[in-house]
Every structure is written in C-alpha cells, then in structure tokens.
C-alpha cells in the first residue's frame, strides 16, 4: 500500500473588504460624528450664554462704578425711573432703588435683559455721607 499524498492547495489570500465590513464601518463613523456634532453644539451654546452673562456683568459693574462716582448729595436727588441701556447689541432695562437712612444710602441696581436668554441680575452697595459723621458711629 502506497501512501498517497494529498496535496492541499494553499487558500487564496483575501483581497479587499467585504460589503458588510464597509457598512459596519460607516455606521460606527456615523455614530461618532453625530456624538461630536452634539458636543460641539453644546459647547457653542455654553459659549454664547457665557458671552451674554459676562456682558451683563460688565454692564452692571459699569453702572455701579458710575453711581459710585456720583457725589452723595446728587445721589439722593437722582431719578429712580427705569432706563434702557444698550451695550454690545443687547438692550437692558435698568432700575435703580435708593434706600435712604440718616447717614447712608443703599443703592440697588437691577439689570433685566430685553431678551429672555439670560436672567436678570442685581447689585447693591452702600454709600455713606462723609459730611454727616462716621456711618459706623451710631451714638456720636
């Protein structure tokens, strides 16, 4: 008995990709791109909101500095009617409230944006009457 050798032909190597592999790769790419698009929209929205909030804060600081520089006698005579201020393309309604005591005045500024994108903000500070004595001395 002679042993017969069976020759096995080497299998042909695969060349290229199958259609299913391409479809799976496209689905994975789509999922990744949709996720990146959502994240980029979130970052853009947060950036826009931060820009509006920082502008509102700058306007509030500007108004506080302006009212802080006004002489005390003039401050008490100021009009507290609402005004509209436009800075950087955004309009704000400004309301000033003065609470007067014998030796000091408390000033409250409320800024309300005309757009409803950001909330209103307020700032309070106290101005003392330097000519009326020390505001810290209540029995003097």
Q: What does the alpha-carbon distance between residue 2 and residue 9 come to, in Å, rounded to a whole number?
A: 21
Model confidence at 140, pLDDT cuts 50, 70, 90, reads low
CA neighbours closer than 13 Å in the CB half-sphere of residue 134: 5
What residues does 100 pair with on adjacent strands? 105
Instruction: Show me where the domains of the chain are located.
Output: 19-132
pTM: 0.64
pLDDT tens by residue, 46-95 = 998 888 888 888 889 988 898 888 888 888 777 777 888 888 788 888 88
Give the pairing type, strands 104-113 and 90-100.
Answer: antiparallel
């Amino acid at each position: 008995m002679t042993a017969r050798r069976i020759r096995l032909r080497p299998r042909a190597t695969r060349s290229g990709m199958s259609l299913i592999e391409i479809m799976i790769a496209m689905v994975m790419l789509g999922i990744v791109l949709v996720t990146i698009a959502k994240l980029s929209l979130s970052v853009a929205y947060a950036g826009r909101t931060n820009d509006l909030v920082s502008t509102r804060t700058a306007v509030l600081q500007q108004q506080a500095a302006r009212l802080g520089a006004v002489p005390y006698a003039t401050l008490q005579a100021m009009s507290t009617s609402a005004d509209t201020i436009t800075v950087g393309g955004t309009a704000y309604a400004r309301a000033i409230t003065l609470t007067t005591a014998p030796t000091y005045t408390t000033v409250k500024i409320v800024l309300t944006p005309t757009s409803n994108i950001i909330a209103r903000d307020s700032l309070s500070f106290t101005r003392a009457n330097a000519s009326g004595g020390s505001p810290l001395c209540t029995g003097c």
